Chains A and B, each alone.
Chain A
Amino acid sequence: MEKIETQKKTLTENLFENANLSRRSFLKVSAGTGVTAALITGIQPELKALAATGASGTNGKGQWLPATCQGCTSWCSKQVYVIDGRAVKVRGNPHSKVNLGAGCVRSHLAIQQLYDPDRIKVPMKRTNPKKGRNQDPKFVPITWDEALDTIADKIMELRDNNETHKYMLMRGRYSYLRDVLYDRMTKIIGSPNNISHSALCAEAEKFGPYYTEGYWGYRQYDVLKAHYILLWGADPLAANRQVSYYTKVWGDVADQATIAIIEPRLSASAGKADEWLPIIPGQDGALAAAIAHILLVEGLWYKPFLGDFVDGVNRFVPGETVAEEAFEENYTHGVVKWWNLELKDKTAEWAADVTGLTADQIRRVAEGFGNAAPHAISWVGGGPCMQVRGGYASMICHALNGLVGSVDNVGGTLKANKEYTKKFPKPDDFMDEIAKKGKKHEKIDQRGRLEFPSLKKGKSGGGVVTNNAADGILNEDPYEIKVAIGYMNNFAFSAPQPERWERALSKIPFLVHITTNASEFSWFSDIVLPDTHHMFEKWGYVKSIGNGYRHVTLMQPIVKNIGDYKIDETEIPWLIAEKLAERGFDNLLRHFKTYKDPETGMEPANEKEFALYALKYATQNLWDPAHYKGGDKFSGWEEFSKVGVWNSDPYPYRKRWGKMKTKTGMFEFYSETLKAALEKHAEKHNTTVDAVMEAANYLARGEKAFIPHYEEPFILGDEKEYPFVHVDHKSRLNREGRSANCTWYYDFKDLDPGEDLWDDVAKINPVDARKLGIQSGDRIRLSSVTGSLVCTAKLWEGVRPGTVAKCYGQGHWVYGRLASKTFGKEPRGGNNNDIIPAQYEALSGSSAYYGVTRIKIEKA
């Protein structure tokens, strides 16, 4: 027993011991907290534990402790400089082979998020029963006990009435401990409705790689060995992904590679590129088709991968069909079909008309790209894909990698390395009859219906249609939602046409929000629970790729909590499980107790132990030498938790050639995999693939549905009334729309090319602005068919005439004192989503953010 006690102490406190917290510094802190301290009783025991470590004074000296940043989905491993339990600075974790010790600018803002005075410190409940945008919820503080009792009562009501399917869990930013709250708890309560945010992210970007090379995931790019890098709507020096790694090596990459950026706006990466191709929004597929056409006509394909004509004579002549048997493919499938069905007429001149680029530039880029084969990367970002018809753009842009043989190759596009984390125990034995029956209902987002094929990993209804859940709730189709919990999500801000979410959330009789700040989503909630900040206060882990490696990086509580925060994914579900058990339903708690500490075999006794054991359980294969499977090796949990990151083995090049997870095992230009998926979906609905295409708002009919091809973009709004196409983009200071309450966000906003300090600008080409009589600094209103926003005009050459580029991130009307102009009433800046209609790339379920709406500009 004594041994176990000691061990527990080590596990939960070694980090704090390192920080040399003294009793004196602690008392000083508690004495000074005033009102806040009076409210916060929950952290007292932890404080005592810290003080009991008995270390001497620090003299203001701190220690670098391991952490993980989720400011964007780069998911870098970090270190935080902590003095007396207080975070001061952030830097990259030098132990990560993915980010190589490099930080990035947005990571620094995490400190201002951590110490945001407007973070909710204690649970709150609304006292105004009326819900709506103009209804102040009149939140008042309550105890955790009251909050949890209320939540448990509401869940029990559903169980008592056999309507557990009317429970819903909405997930936002997550760690891989997510399944506790997202999956297991939802299933054991008995609901099918675990709705993730994923389709607001970039699911469509995965569509192309999956239906060509059988990989549903984000890619990593072997940039240091590449000679040509073609970026489609990706801005790796500012936005996503592995910003830290690409930032670190880009200066060297530029020495040996030609860098070409396709984007209607001069992005941070475009500012440093060899070629900027300011394409007309939505026409990416046309450019990709032309590049493919040129590669084939000029014989620039990579023969060791693709193969060659049997007699070695190139028959890819513009306008002419080719006999399939004339070409012998090596590791690909259907290149001649692709040529015949799509590419043969897609000349540079044709594409120049469609894309607004010059034929010269298109040819120059295509030839440069082809001549660099196989060390040529076609880097497909969210831009071309997160559009209504972006699924096939994702496919055709990614297919270029097949032509030049850079898939899985040196200097090319790579998938994720192997890692060895474990799944949690299965919930099945803890699901009673009510739960099993409840789970069988259709999901609230209507995925898998004819118009939402959502073909994640080849399965009809395999992926979420996040934004459509609002309509499901509003129309009670398939049924009403009565009890819902959301965590670290803010669909009433981050989803296109958020006004739908305002109404949908108002309609839910009992809504809980787990969040750091009272956000737009919270505004409609009945109970708001104060969440931990992922980087400093939470147990968790995430996986990420870059530099030919994968890392698994830990999130740990490394600072003294100022508020009575609890961990969203572990502590809170445990506490709810306890309350449910008190009410006679102990299945969830019994399930959670199977997450035993791998070191001691002990089952968790409280929420804090549960959070830690869940993490140790999931990562055991990484740190337990007896379970070693590969990559970095540790002597045990203690060493792993101090280093904070595990690295995989290096990337094994070309291992997947001929063994891809497609129907044919090959890289498919004619996708048998997509054909099977579409046919299955059609069969489910007793119809044809053509009918599916029509329902999904695609133009392709017949065989074309199975190949990468160009589709005319679907853009809402009449051109006469709405003359400009809206271009949404992200800021290098955005922390997923959560940094707008940080002073540094505004004080450094001009780090984004074209942006201004302490303002939210719409970037307009001077040619267009002159016609409208608009000057920089004018207040303007941007309107689409679904909404409008007010911001400031900025005349800028870095934006294509006929388009208006506006950065996402501002326009909060709650969230905090800086984020909103008047909290609860008036936004600071404009939220792009207010003008983006709720439209979908239906084959992946994604929301369309780009090339989806026309807008007009008026003086405000």
Chain B
Amino acid sequence: MPRYAMVIDRQRCVGCGSCSIACRAENNLSEGVYWSHKITETSGVFPNVRFHYLPTLCNHCTNAPCVRGCPTRAMHKLENGITMHDPKKCIGCRYCMINCPYGVIYFNWKDGHQFWKDEHVLIEGATSSPAEEVRAAGGKTTPYYNPKNSKAPDIRPKGVVEKCTFCEHRVRKGLLPNCVEACPADARMFGDLDDPQSTLNQLLGKFKPFRLKEALGTDPAVFYIRDFSAANYPRTKGAA
């Protein structure tokens, strides 16, 4: 059984967010829900300023606090290391959200894709309502709905939590998570930590990786290497 993990090369990353929008499309996410997300920061004072971008997602922690705190085992670990969530078992208590130190779990206060439920037409007889558009396209909930063909519901109902699944439905079929597939910079790499020759292990052996809030002991499966800024600077000792 593999132990799945991800390495994100921040130097290759250009902060474009393709990962996050591709995730939206793949997993039929509603507006405001970011399974794939980011932390950005503008550092410095003019004219010495840079912008930094750190892509984030569920860390699929080995010691996952969200799993430990779940009273119904809706949040659970798969043997391959993926932290999965079963909305059928979820009672919406949101303990997982409180326990997760990374803020990557979302709660559905209402049904998703409200935009597409609207029956209002802008120009009568010439344009559609969003709901009509969905029907005419032959989609489900959204016109561009993606059937994931997995056991889990394609669109999570209200009253439950949801989060990144490492695209378990794809990985199971031998495909890469969609954020990895869609990254135009090849900044994300996915693979098996238990395979000593995997790309991941090669990279982790070459660079000093870091993981988010490592000191908490969650043992995240998302590793970061290199820096978003590869900037050089003139040699200096500063000044006393």
Contacts and interface: CB of A to CB of B under 8 A. Distances in A.
**B partners with A:** yes
Interface of A: 25, 28-29, 32-37, 39, 59-60, 83-89, 91-92, 102-105, 108-109, 111-112, 114-122, 124, 139-141, 237-238, 244, 247-248, 250-252, 254-255, 258, 266, 268, 270-276, 278, 364, 518, 560, 562, 732, 743-744, 747-748, 750-751, 753-754, 765, 767, 796-801, 816-817, 823
A158 B165 CA distance: 64
16 contacts: A25-B138, A29-B138, A35-B128, A37-B136, A88-B25, A88-B144, A102-B184, A114-B143, A117-B129, A248-B186, A251-B13, A271-B15, A271-B51, A276-B47, A732-B16, A817-B120
B53 A103 contact: no
B168 interface: no
A83 B232 CA distance: 47
B158 interface: no
A272 B11 CA distance: 9
A278 B14 CA distance: 20
A16 to B, nearest CB: 14
Contacts of B139: 86, 115
Interface stretch (B60-68, B82-90, B223-231): B223-231
A141 B126 contact: yes
Nearest to A252: B12
A247 B53 contact: no
Contacts, number: 228
Contacts of A364: 234
A823 B123 CA distance: 10
A103 B182 contact: yes
B229 A271 contact: yes
A86 B115 CA distance: 19
A271 B52 contact: yes
Interface string B177-194: 010011011110000000
Contacts of A272: 14-15, 50-51, 228-231
Contacts of B24: 108, 744
A112 B182 contact: no
A816 B122 contact: yes
B2 interface: no
B197 interface: no
Interface in B2-45: 9, 11-18, 20-22, 24-26, 31-32, 38, 40, 42, 44-45
A244 B121 CA distance: 36
B33 to A, nearest CB: 9
A519 to B, nearest CB: 12
Contacts of A251: 9, 11-14, 185, 187, 230
B182 A91 contact: yes
Given A32-B135, A89-B25, A271-B52, A797 B16 contact: no
Lowest 9 CB-CB distances: which A-B pairs, in order?
Answer: A271-B51, A251-B12, A115-B143, A102-B184, A60-B147, A254-B230, A141-B125, A117-B133, A751-B17
Most buried by A among B38, B53, B126, B128: B126
B81 interface: no
Nearest to B226: A251
B130 A117 contact: yes
Given A237-B14, A747-B31, 5 more contacts: A119-B127, A250-B12, A266-B51, A274-B230, A754-B51
A797 B122 contact: no
A39 B125 contact: yes
A112 B44 CA distance: 37
Nearest to A820: B122
Contacts of A87: 144
Contact of A250 (B14, B49, B123, B143): B14
B120 to A, nearest CB: 8
Contacts of B50: 266, 271-272, 276
Nearest to A109: B21
Nearest to A85: B138
Contacts of A518: 122-123, 126-127
Contacts of A753: 15, 40, 42, 51
Contacts of A59: 149
A248 B120 CA distance: 41
A143 to B, nearest CB: 12
B231 A798 contact: no
B132 interface: yes
B42 A748 contact: no
B184 A33 contact: no
B91 interface: no
B137 interface: yes
Given A105-B21, A266-B42, A272-B230, A88 B136 contact: no
Contact of A121 (B16, B26, B51, B128): B128
A562 B16 contact: no
B111 to A, nearest CB: 16
B51 A273 contact: no
A247 B138 contact: no
B187 to A, nearest CB: 7
Nearest to B132: A36
A512 to B, nearest CB: 15
A271 B142 CA distance: 35
B145 interface: yes
B16 A88 contact: no
A139 B16 contact: no
Nearest to B129: A117
A562 B137 contact: yes
A485 to B, nearest CB: 19
Contacts of B137: 29, 86, 115, 560, 562
A562 B138 CA distance: 10
B51 A562 contact: no
B146 interface: yes
Interface string B153-181: 00000000000000000000000001001
A254 B187 CA distance: 14
A115 B232 contact: no
B46 A800 contact: yes
Contact of B132 (A35, A108, A274, A747): A35
A237 B25 CA distance: 22
A85 B139 CA distance: 11
B230 A33 contact: no
Given A266-B42, A271-B52, A120 B127 contact: yes
B53 A271 contact: yes
A32 B136 contact: yes
Given A60-B149, A103-B182, A248-B184, A797 B127 contact: no
A238 B16 contact: yes
A247 B185 contact: yes
